[in-house]
Amino acid sequence: EAKGIRVAIDGPAAAGKSTVAKIVAEKSSFIYIDTGAMYRALTWKVLQNRISPEDSQSIVDLLAKTDIDLEQGKSGQRVRVDGDDVTEAIRTEQVTGSVSHIAKHPNVREQMVQRQRKLANKHDIVMDGRDIGTHVIPNAEVKVFLKASVEERARRRYDENMQKGLTTDFETLKNEIEERDRIDSNRETAPLVKADDAIALDTTDLTIDDVASSILEKVNQAIINEGGSG
């Protein structure tokens, strides 16, 4: 039974949003919605169609006829674009390098936000992204803004790549993260910024469990509060 709780988790690249959001969703039996995966899925499709990331009208037209599905599979979330499984394909360097350029267009964001709000209406959810607490669900019951030093975030991505058997240059990763944060923070529409009423958590020296426990505490408090108000 839905409790009417929406958990919004925002922050810059590799702050730990998706890892922690998945844990919080699982422990609360909420649905996890990865809005970054939605922008990545669109980016994959734009690149497939050889559309320029600056051609906002063509991108909006493409998005209008594109199905993006986030499935909660046993072994994690699967992402589908018009039925094709793109879970791995949306994590390539090429997609990562273009996604912020595509996500900056106001008319692209407008359509994405509509889809995200629809998803958030149906269930108790944990949603992560850049503009969830400020724009997509400004009245979310729980709002968290995760941050960490750029060195720590680059190290996390580096370790992640190592585990996949990929050797990447640390400085290149760090530059990529800084560049994406710069574009996301400076765009005109719904930029990456902490909502005034979001709880800021610096995760630089925190473990995944520390961060998840701290958010779960807020979720439990919100459940009590909602229950009390009927």
Give residues in contact with ligand CDP (CB under 6 A): 11, 13-19, 35-37, 39-40, 99-100, 103, 129-132, 156, 160, 180, 184, 203, 206-208, 211
Rounded Cα distance, 125 and 145, in Å: 16
Strand partners, 25: none
Q: How far is the CB of 97 from ligand CDP (least distance, A)?
A: 10
**Which CB, 93 or 226, lies closer to ligand CDP?**
93
Nearest Cα neighbor of 142 from 230, 51, 28 is 28
**Which CB, 200 or 227, lies closer to ligand CDP?**
200
**Which CB, 18 or 87, lies closer to ligand CDP?**
18
**Which CB, 211 or 222, lies closer to ligand CDP?**
211
Q: How far is the CB of 34 from ligand CDP (least distance, A)?
A: 7
The answer to whether the annotation marks 230 as part of a ligand binding site is no
**Which CB, 35 or 87, lies closer to ligand CDP?**
35
Quote the tokens at residue 87.
């879970």
* H or E stretch at 120: helix 106-122
Contact 99, 39 (CB under 8 A): yes
Specify the 3-state DSSP secondary structure of 61: helix
Q: Count Cβ neighbours within 10 Å for each residue of 153-164 and write b for 16 or more, e otherwise.
A: bbbbbbeeeeee
Q: How far is the CB of 190 from ligand CDP (least distance, A)?
A: 7
The answer to whether the annotation marks 18 as part of a ligand binding site is yes
Quote the tokens at residue 55.
């051609």
Contact 11, 17 (CB under 8 A): yes
Q: How far is the CB of 50 from ligand CDP (least distance, A)?
A: 20
The answer to whether the annotation marks 13 as part of a ligand binding site is yes
Contact 2, 123 (CB under 8 A): yes
The answer to whether the annotation marks 16 as part of a ligand binding site is yes
CB closest to ligand CDP, residue no: 36
The answer to whether the annotation marks 41 as part of a ligand binding site is no
From the annotation, which residues make up the binding site for ATP? Answer: 11-19
From the annotation, which residues make up the binding site? Answer: 11-19
